[in-house]
Amino acid sequence: MSSHSEKFRASHRQRKGKLAAVGIAAAIGVVAIAGTGIVIRTRDEAKLAKWTDEQAIPSVELVAPQRGVENQELVLPGNVQAYFEAPIYARVSGYLKNWYQDIGAHVKAGQLLAEIDAPDLDQQYQQAQADLAQAKANAALAEITAKRWQALVATNSVSRQEADEKTGDLEAKKAALAAAQANVARLQALEGFKRIIAPFDGVVTARKTDVGALINTGSGIGPELFAVADVHKMRVYVRVPQAQSAGLREGMKATLLTPQRPNKLFPAVLVTTAEAITEASRTMLVELEADNANGELPPGTYAEVHFKLPANPNVLRLPTSSLVFRQNGTEVATVGPDGKVVMKPVKVGRDLGTQVEIVSGLGPDDRVVKVPPDSLEEGDPVRVAETTGGASGGAAKPSAGAAQ
């Protein structure tokens, strides 16, 4: 009986020892699993923190400032006018007898355009001729009388006073003769104005009268009778903004584009400028000349004037997106060799549309951020890309020198 009990207790102790060993092994396994989880979690948290820090560094694309502005085109509206253009008014009153040239007619200098019937002027002219004949007769009689009285003075037949009176009468008659001659010459000139003639070679651009119309003497009062334009060469007037006026020079080439001939370019050359800025519009009036041998540029035409402005090697150009407007003025963000931002104040010149001129504050070797974020500040680290080949930017490749 005692032997059986001892065997039972020994078996119980053996099972209890096994259970304890299993428990210890399980506890060790739990501790190992927990330790492994802690290590993995710590490592993941470190990776996450590093990734978060890296994501907080902005990635930017850089551009290199370019010298000058090549092939810059300035397009402005222009007004095409005839080289010479003259409105023709009547110098005598009357009725239009006939006209001989209509609009579009090509005329030569002195060619007859119309005739005016002026009977009142004709009567005045005839009267002036009669007055001239009378003045000539009176002057001739006065001259003979004066000579006779001077001869009688030598014989003491008449007094010196009477002879001087006859001489004075002769001078008065000569003056009257000169006045009559001048009046005839004036009316004769007016008779010539009954013929309306072309002042120069050109084209009749307007006819504002007709046969039988009452013609009044005047210049600038009422509509002109005709208008003649010399269109062998055209003048083109353009108002250039003040900011672009400094680049214009005499002899500069330009091209004209007109709405009626959209596929043809007309060459023009700058001949002069007003050398003054109009205060109302802050523009300078510029005159160009364009040949018009074929007559394809009619007066009054609207034209787009295309100027090719020369490059300025003393200035740099950047994309407009590179500018940062802050309280202290205009700045650009550059990246130093340490991968950190350096803000540089700049002076902006002409606005070229998608680009701007940088007059000062920037060097050609600076690495400029093409599109800086609004939050970018001095000293911020950035992740950079390789500098693009031009101021307009382009696709950039990742750089191995990114900030860590």
Beta bridge partners of 96: 116
Give the lowest-confidence range in 4-13, 125-134, 154-163, 390-399: 390-399
Q: What are phi and psi of 11, to 5 degrees?
A: -65, -35
CATH entry, 59-69+314-384, from 3.40.47.10, 1.10.3080.10, 2.40.420.20, 3.40.350.10: 2.40.420.20
Mean pLDDT of 137-158: 86
Instruction: Look up residue 370 and give its DSSP letter.
Output: S
Percent of the chain residues topping a pLDDT of 70: 78
CA 8 to chain centre: 117
Q: What are phi and psi of 297, to 5 degrees?
A: -115, 85
Query: Dihedral sign, CA of 157, 162, 164, 165?
Result: negative
Ordered by start, the domain boundaries in the chain are 1-56, 59-69+314-384, 86-197, 230-309
pLDDT at 221 (0 to 100):
64
The number of beta carbons lying within 10 Å of the beta carbon of residue 240 is 22
- Token pair belonging to 136: 């000539």
- Token pair belonging to 123: 């009567």
**Residue at token pair 């005045």:** 124
> Rounded to the nearest 10 degrees, how much is the dihedral formed by the CA atoms of 182, 186, 188, 193?
170
Q: Which fold has domain 86-197?
A: Helix Hairpins (1.10.287)
CA 200 to chain centre: 32
**pLDDT at position 403 over 50:** no
pLDDT at 394 (0 to 100):
42
Q: What is the pLDDT of residues 14-61, one digit of tens each?
A: 666 666 666 676 667 666 676 676 666 666 555 655 555 555 577 888
For the chain, how many residues are written? 404
**pLDDT at position 295 over 60:** yes
Q: Which fold has domain 230-309?
A: Elongation Factor Tu (Ef-tu); domain 3 (2.40.30)
Give the lowest-confidence range in 131-140, 153-162, 178-187, 244-253: 153-162
For residues 354 and 331, give the distance between their C-alpha atoms in angstroms, rounded to a whole number: 17
Which residue would you say has higher pLDDT here, 292 or 56? Answer: 292
Contacts of residue 182, Cβ cutoff 8 Å, sequence gap at least 6:
none
Q: What is the pLDDT of residues 195-225, one digit of tens each?
A: 999 999 999 999 999 999 998 886 656 678 9
DSSP letter string, 28-95: HHHHHHHHHHHHHHHHHHHHHHHHHHHHHSPEE-EE--EES-TTEEEEEEEEEEEEEEEEE--SS-EE
pLDDT at 22 (0 to 100):
65
**pLDDT at position 73 over 60:** yes
Characterize the bridge pairing of strands 383-384 and 59-60.
Answer: parallel
Mean pLDDT of 143-171: 84
pLDDT at 205 (0 to 100):
93
pLDDT at 13 (0 to 100):
64
Mean pLDDT of 347-372: 83
**pLDDT at position 252 over 70:** yes
- 339 SS3 class: coil
For residues 377 and 375, give the distance between their C-alpha atoms in angstroms, rounded to a whole number: 6
> Rounded to the nearest 10 degrees, how much is the dihedral formed by the CA atoms of 333, 337, 340, 342?
-30
For residues 377 and 326, give the distance between their C-alpha atoms in angstroms, rounded to a whole number: 11
pLDDT at 8 (0 to 100):
57
For residues 249 and 238, give the distance between their C-alpha atoms in angstroms, rounded to a whole number: 14
**pLDDT at position 361 over 70:** yes
